[in-house]
Amino acid sequence: MLNVCEVLGTEYPIIQGAMARIADAQLAAAVSEGGGLGIIASGGETAEWLRGQIAKARSLTQKPFGVNLMLLAPNIDELVDVVCEEKVHVVTTGAGNPGKYMARLKEAGVKVIPVVASVALAVRMEREGADAVVAEGTEAGGHIGEITTMALTPQVVDAVSIPVLCAGGVADGRGVAAAFMLGAKGVQVGTRFLSAYECGVAQAYKDAILAAKDTSTTATGRSTGHPVRCLRNKLTRKVLKLEATGGSEDEINELCTGTLAAAVRDGDVQNGSVMSGQVAGLVKKEQPAAEIIRELFSEGAKIYEDRADICLKSNK
């Protein structure tokens, strides 16, 4: 079995989470330059935009980077065409089953790493030729599953032979060490990169993440079967109220239309959708993406060594 760094073509076993409308060529190239796998998020974007961002990332770094395909995107077939034509190094997928596209991606030489929220999908993805999977717990930001990272990761690790990366709740060295303790061979980190200098999200969005605490997020959309984790604000209160009073899926979708762009681009952190993981409370400062990666792994390795006392009976 190849190790995660060989699959990703990176120095560190880390993938940057695909944050829709946020993760562009600038952030992806900075993460790749820092030794991780940067990801351009194509969800909500056009095929032309994606092609342009791939070209821009190639002008900013010689290192490999990836593209995330959000499988609920209405233009998903066109986006798949672009990543195949451009022979992107790695594709991560989210919010669905990429089985339908697997053969085409593999034929084009693209490595496929589906993000899964269940053992069943992980097993299926391995059978269909995935190179690795990301097991993402419900602590993550954006579109989420139901199972926690702590419960999901070891169950996925036991069920597949391909490398497993762990996502949802990883924002510092302790999270990295914990991921490895659960059997993961790498991590996917999203929320922590929102505070990267190279992340072009509106400053008010960054400030909301930096000000967040443990209880700051909530999940809307459970009533429609598409739960999404965001920072609590005026919008989430409205959506949750509508859901509690039997609002239809159409009404909920209408209330949410355009809200991600409002938060990301305009910095409207009250009426916009401020997607974030539960670890926002661990994100304390803005810093370069490369420094975030170095910190995650230097702290993670130190904890891994220090906690050798875990097996001592005295456990002082």
Distance CA 31, CA 287 (A): 12
Output the smallest distance, CB 23 to ligand TUI, in A.
10
Q: Exposed (0-12), middle (13-18) or buried (19+): which is 226, by Cβ within 10 Å?
A: middle
DSSP string, 254-289: HHHTTHHHHHHTT--TTTS--B--GGGGG----B-H
Distance CA 140, CA 217 (A): 10
Closest CA to 132 of 53, 50, 75, 187: 187
Q: Does 9 bind ligand TUI (CB under 6 A)?
A: no
Q: Does 155 bind ligand TUI (CB under 6 A)?
A: no
Q: Does 163 bind ligand TUI (CB under 6 A)?
A: no
Per-residue x/- marks for ligand TUI, 236-275, CB under 6 A?
A: ------------------------x--------------x
What Rg, from alpha-carbon coordinates, does the chain have?
Answer: 19
Q: Does 20 bind ligand TUI (CB under 6 A)?
A: yes
* Angle, vertex CA 117, rays to CA 88 and CA 243, nearest 5: 115
Q: Does 94 bind ligand TUI (CB under 6 A)?
A: yes
Both structure tokens of 20: 């829709």
Decide the pairing of beta strands 90-94 and 133-136.
Answer: unpaired
Q: Does 144 bind ligand TUI (CB under 6 A)?
A: yes
Stretch that binds ligand TUI, among 29-37, 101-109, 140-148, 154-162 (CB under 6 A): 140-148
Q: Does 96 bind ligand TUI (CB under 6 A)?
A: yes
Q: Does 143 bind ligand TUI (CB under 6 A)?
A: yes
The site that binds ligand TUI (CB under 6 A) totals a number of residues, namely 19
Whose Cβ is closer to ligand TUI: residue 80's or residue 275's?
Answer: 275
Query: What residues line the site for ligand TUI (CB under 6 A)?
Result: 20, 43, 70, 94-97, 115-117, 121, 136, 142-145, 228, 260, 275
